[in-house]
Amino acid sequence: MSNNGQQKEGKVIASSTIYLRSFWGVDGNSQYAFSMDGRIFETLGESYKLTWGNYRGDRIGIFSYNSIEEKGYIDVDWFHYCY
């Protein structure tokens, strides 16, 4: 995880499928979570407050990073946005 230039390693995930969730409250506080089964979610990183301009919501980016060699990919099968 990278937040404001500070990188932090999380737990090792052996599953080939992972579900990501973003929670955002009207108070501007946001929190990310992940799950292996899509039902039980664990928080990911610290919560943070959204502060820029008049935009109200998360901006999410998913990417693959490999520090050993120039290889890797991410396969997103579906994306669901609820409000």
C-alpha distances in angstroms, 31 versus 21, 34, 41, 44, 54? 8, 11, 12, 7, 19
Please enumerate, as own/partner, the contacts of 62-70 that have beta carbons within 8 Å and a separation of 24 or more: 62/20
More confidently predicted of 63 and 46: 46
Model confidence over 31-46: pLDDT tens digits? 889 999 989 999 988 8
Question: The whole model's pTM is what?
Answer: 0.67
Kindly state the DSSP code that residue 68 receives in the 8-state scheme: S
Per-residue pLDDT at 14:
84
